[in-house]
Structure 1
């Protein structure tokens, strides 16, 4: 028999799902490396964006010195690391993390674009999924652009750090991409099991839960961007009181966007609003898929403990990195649960 010419017969939803799950794992790794880059103050160590040639680090001493000289021109070196006595060896350490972060971004781009092209040429993409996959590819491109805008916000003679607003856009785009990858992979896996399966829909409760979690992630990104984790090393009180003192001279709205003490406080306690929604989500999906319920409970439970530990240890590097890593797992588990509700709906 001749092979069927019908593209639907060539569709490989299970292979596509596995590919998207693999890319999602790379995005989680990217979030972790990004957290290390931020916590080691490495983000401004590379002052130029070279999409192709930048994939290679300096290869000799003269190139290292040139990169170090460029770094010496920005405010972070002049006001923070320079007066602290940074050496070339110190610079090489922070350079590595920023370079590795950018390299991993390039790897993710290739890991998505090349298989996408292969599946496209082979006509292995099921009907209706091409626009969604192209949207995920575009999100990856935006993620790289937002990362450079973030870095550029801190590269001048006066700034000592990047804009916490650009940092939040950069991080949340990564987490939104992660959510899109997992949701699409789950749709494809369902399609593989049943050729008549339709994509899961977003329910009202799912949208509300996503919005609550988004606020918590946004506050967490601002905490990272403003080093607001250092605003208190006690829990549950801050400065010996429930609500800390903060700069209210320009109003609550300004303080909620800029003041590290208030932002730390909001992140600390909005977490319990997110937990309440996640508990409801876990209970709703328990009868559909018990593993998803366990994953949701486990993720937010560990995340709460790591958040408290991060505060009590004055933002110990590896505890804070684990906190960001499990934050990505909370997103993944939540998407799994919301997708189950959307499929039943």
Structure 2
């Protein structure tokens, strides 16, 4: 309450003014309101309580106090600007670990789904009107049937686990219209629907496989990005050195080669899905010497 003392003193002096003063002279006199620069500086500093400045009238001059108030204002503006930007590296570490676990789960179900497809376990055990069992597996014993049943059952349960741990939170983005429902159905639902006829479309299965690879890659890259940013935030000096080293022009060829290799691996994986779906590998199994040529 010390900053209110000058104001109270002025009010007391006005109230205690002598009655003999000529009021006409007072009215004719120019209205000059005396302003206290110290009081203005204090008021300006009080506008930013997070960055209050302590004033010492015995050791600090008025200019120093005004300079301190301006620095307090600039610091408060910088703090507000920083909070409004919401930088990416403020993401919680738990989010990175969650994405990393989801990526591992998707990678596992892709491998297990490939085994299920190659062993033709799915169409042999479902209740769909399919002649798969009568044409290919009439000699199957109960133990062999249990084996393929376990593979298909584990594949489907694994998919449900992924749905609980990742897809359900992703429904939030669908509700916010970030992902359209027709696209989600075409990528994930149509391959299952195509299995009702006796033959599963290899093109839809390839699309399903490509979506799984893209989903896995996105999860892995996002998880590594979050964890990397958290590590850089812990040691900014070392992070700046690392970034400067990665911007070396000598690494341009390596980055381009890595990108080209990733595209080549993705294309090879999709072509392999088509080959498996068409049983094209059974024609010539002596690659690269086709037909012993």
TM-score band by shorter chain is 0.5 to 0.7
Aligned to 2:43: none
1:16 aligns with: 95
* CA distance 1:107–1:166, shift in 2 (3 Å): same
1:210 CA displacement: 4.1
| Number of equivalent positions | 191
2-structure distance, mates of 1:162, 1:116? 28
The 8 Å contact of residues 154 and 162 in structure 1, kept in 2 or not, is answered as yes
Shift of 1:179: 0.6
Alpha-carbon offset, residue 88 of structure 1 = 5.2
Of 99, 102, 106, the residue aligned with 2:156 is 102
Q: How far, CA to CA, are the matches of 2:152 and 2:187 in structure 1?
A: 15
Shift of 1:182: 1.2
1:213 maps onto 2:251 in alignment: no
For 1:326, the equivalent position in structure 2 comes to none
Larger Rg: 2
TM-score for the superposition, normalised by structure 2:
0.52
Shift, 1:238, TM fit: 1.6
Say if 2:103 and 2:220, in contact at 8 Å, map to a contact too.
Answer: yes
For structure 2, the 5+ residue unaligned runs are 1-82, 240-254
Q: Is 2:150 the counterpart of 1:112?
A: no
Match of 2:213 in 1: 175
Quote the residue 2:104 is aligned against: 25
Q: Which residue of 1 aligns with 2:279?
A: 227
CA contact (8 A) 2:121 2:152 kept: yes
2:194 to 142, 153, 168: 153
Q: Which residue of 2 aligns with 1:164?
A: 202
Report 1:175-214 matches (<5 A): 175-194=213-232, 208-214=260-266
Alpha-carbon separation, structure 2, partners of 1:150 and 1:227: 18
Supply the distance in 1 between the matched residues of 2:132 and 2:122 (Cα, whole angstroms): 10
The alignment's TM-score, normalised by the length of structure 1, stands at 0.45
How far off its partner does 1:146 sit?
4.3
Aligned to 1:74: 130
After superposition, the Cα gap between the structure-2 partners of 1:212 and 1:104, relative to the gap in structure 1 and judged at 3 Å, is: same
Match of 2:120 among 41, 47, 52: 41
Judge conservation of contact 2:124–2:133 (CA < 8 Å) in 1. Answer: no
Tell me the C-alpha RMSD between the 2 structures: 4.1
